[in-house]
């Protein structure tokens, strides 16, 4: 029979309409059927923790939540629409197990949380004041160096966190890049709380988080290391003689123009008087600064003169 003839048949049209209605009903019923889904990676938050306490460890930090609902609602679900938390209002210091409470959006039915309980370490909050120490990275421009003392504002920061984490902190440090610098470098630097191995300590906060640091970069003054010669004045007591003289440190660093340093082989200590001496003479004296030299480091040495009986 031709299609156009069927479309003119009233009985066929009624049967066809009934079949279509049944199919639409079945599809609509299928779309509304509940489905189950496991949402993983839901973060666990803490609530109700008393003042002066902190949750330093949550194990595991996320849970899986199983829910049921219509396919449309369940398929649109993600971790941002679920909330998991533990109530720590009665928590005391230590490592304990707590029940995970879950909140789900309307239109869904809760099934389970995996795991249902998690471990939380609760600790008292501790504070530590540390002076900021400055590290530099890179090398200044040729002929320049960073021999001066850096300026830090503020010079002291407060480190706050769980007691076990704060106890690991041995220094508060900033790093300032000075590569190719030929003038003082001023930057806002982030302060890092470090342990004994100069590694960042996690779980602590630094206040303020940034400080202003100025690293002096100045022209490098040529220097040279030379020996120090002792000078003596006078004579020991009759029947005694000089057995020797030593200087500590035996060498000093001399700074100044390169021409002045090239002509310099030794420097002299100020004279030590041994008039009438019958035993060892030990004295701290200054180092005589040669002409043309800008500085001698150290500027003072110890001269020890040994006096012995004449044979």
Q: What is the pLDDT of residue 9?
A: 57
The mean pLDDT value of the chain amounts to: 90
Among 24-33, 82-91, 217-226, 239-248, the minimum mean pLDDT is found in 24-33
More confident residue, 46 or 1: 46
Q: What is the pLDDT of residues 252-274, one digit of tens each?
A: 999 999 899 999 999 999 999 99
Q: What is the pLDDT of residue 24?
A: 46
Residues in Cβ contact with 306 at an 8 Å cutoff, skipping those fewer than 6 apart: 242, 243, 244, 245, 280
Q: Which of 148, 295, 296 is nearest to 218 (CA)?
A: 148
Check whether 27 has a pLDDT greater than 50: no
Q: Which of 160, 98, 172 is nearest to 125 (CA)?
A: 160
Domain assignments of the chain as residue spans, ordered by start: 34-115, 124-219, 223-309
Q: What is the pLDDT of residue 167?
A: 96
CATH number of the domain at 124-219, please? Answer: 2.170.120.40
CA distance 164 to 275: 65
Check whether 64 has a pLDDT greater than 60: yes
Same fold, 34-115 and 223-309: yes
CA distance 29 to 189: 63
CA distance 193 to 145: 27
Q: What is the pLDDT of residue 279?
A: 94
pLDDT band at 5 (very low <50, low <70, confident <90, very high): low
Q: What is the pLDDT of residue 220?
A: 86
Q: What is the mean pLDDT of residues 12-41?
A: 64
Q: What is the pLDDT of residues 270-309, one digit of tens each?
A: 999 999 999 999 999 999 999 999 999 999 999 999 999 9
Whole-Å CA distances, 84 to 56, 63, 64, 73, 236: 18, 8, 10, 19, 91
Q: Which CATH superfamily is domain 223-309 in?
A: YbbR-like domain (2.170.120.40)
Q: What is the pLDDT of residue 310?
A: 86
Q: What is the pLDDT of residue 186?
A: 97
Q: What percent of the chain has pLDDT over 90?
A: 81
Quickly name the fold that domain 34-115 has: RNA Polymerase Alpha Subunit; Chain A, domain 2 (2.170.120)
Q: What is the pLDDT of residues 169-188, one digit of tens each?
A: 999 999 999 999 999 999 99
């Amino acid at each position: 029979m031709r299609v156009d003839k069927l479309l003119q048949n009233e009985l066929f049209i009624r049967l066809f309409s009934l079949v279509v209605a049944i199919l639409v009903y079945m599809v609509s019923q299928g779309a509304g059927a509940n489905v189950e889904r496991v949402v993983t990676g839901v973060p666990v938050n803490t609530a109700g923790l008393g003042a002066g306490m902190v949750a330093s460890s949550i194990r595991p930090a996320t849970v899986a939540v199983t829910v049921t609902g219509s396919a449309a609602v369940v398929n649109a679900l993600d971790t941002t629409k679920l909330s998991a938390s533990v109530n720590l209002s009665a928590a005391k210091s230590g490592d304990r197990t707590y029940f995970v409470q879950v909140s789900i959006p309307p239109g869904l039915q809760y099934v389970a949380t995996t795991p249902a309980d998690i471990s939380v370490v609760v600790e008292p909050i501790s504070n530590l004041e540390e002076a900021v120490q400055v590290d530099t990275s890179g090398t200044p421009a040729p002929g320049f160096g960073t021999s001066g003392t850096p300026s830090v504002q503020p010079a002291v920061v407060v480190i706050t966190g769980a007691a076990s984490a704060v106890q690991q902190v041995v220094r508060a440090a900033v790093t300032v890049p000075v590569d190719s610098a030929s003038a003082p470098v001023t930057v806002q630097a982030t302060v890092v709380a470090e342990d004994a191995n100069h590694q960042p300590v996690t779980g602590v906060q630094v206040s303020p988080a940034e400080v202003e640091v100025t690293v002096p970069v100045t022209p490098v003054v040529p220097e040279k290391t030379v020996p120090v010669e002792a000078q003596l004045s006078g004579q020991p007591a009759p029947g005694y003689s000089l057995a020797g003289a030593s200087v500590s440190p035996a060498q000093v660093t001399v700074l100044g123009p390169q021409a002045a340093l090239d002509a310099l082989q030794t420097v002299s200590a100020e004279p030590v008087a041994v008039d009438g001496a019958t035993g060892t003479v030990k004295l701290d004296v200054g180092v005589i600064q040669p002409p043309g030299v800008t500085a001698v480091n150290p500027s003072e040495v110890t001269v020890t003169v040994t006096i012995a009986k004449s044979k």
